[in-house]
């Protein structure tokens, strides 16, 4: 059972288009992170959102944390071929003893064609 559902799984678009990736859960997270992974490499952190309703911008990427801290979205404006990769969301749960466990979604594989 996937605690974090990401959609869509695959996205193939043309350069210049806009897109949104969603990350949904029934669990409440203390924070949510977005990572980007390129072939042959490990995931690299893009952003961490902590407060419900928080919006963060990273150039053409806009990240939003839901008011109830159960969901998040990543919006890319005017996608470029360099945005191609696997986007992963990860929610932080606190099972016990001050330990924050990261739960990862299955990822959205984005291909941006010139």
Residues of this chain that interact with other proteins (CB under 8 A) are 2, 4, 6, 9, 29-31, 33, 40-45, 48, 50, 88, 90, 92, 94, 98-102, 104-107
Closest to other proteins by CB, 33 vs 64, is 33
In 3D space, the residue among 7, 29, 22 whose CA is nearest the CA of residue 91 turns out to be 29
In 3D space, the residue among 103, 24, 97, 9 whose CA is nearest the CA of residue 64 turns out to be 24
Length of the chain: 114
In the complex, least distance from residue 59 CB atom to other proteins, rounded to whole angstroms? 18
Closest to other proteins by CB, 9 vs 77, is 9
Closest to other proteins by CB, 58 vs 78, is 58
Specify the 3-state DSSP secondary structure of 65: strand
């Amino acid at each position: 059972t996937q605690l974090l559902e990401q959609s869509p799984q695959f996205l193939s678009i043309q350069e210049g288009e806009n897109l949104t990736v969603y990350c949904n859960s029934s669990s409440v997270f203390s924070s949510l992170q977005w990572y980007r992974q390129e072939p042959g490499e490990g995931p690299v952190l893009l952003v961490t959102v902590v407060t419900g309703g928080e919006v963060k911008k990273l150039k053409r990427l806009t990240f939003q944390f839901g008011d109830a801290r159960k969901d998040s979205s990543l919006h890319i404006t005017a996608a470029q071929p360099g945005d191609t990769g696997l986007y992963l969301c990860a929610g932080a749960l606190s099972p016990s003893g001050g330990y924050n466990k990261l739960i990862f979604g299955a990822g959205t594989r984005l291909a941006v064609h010139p």
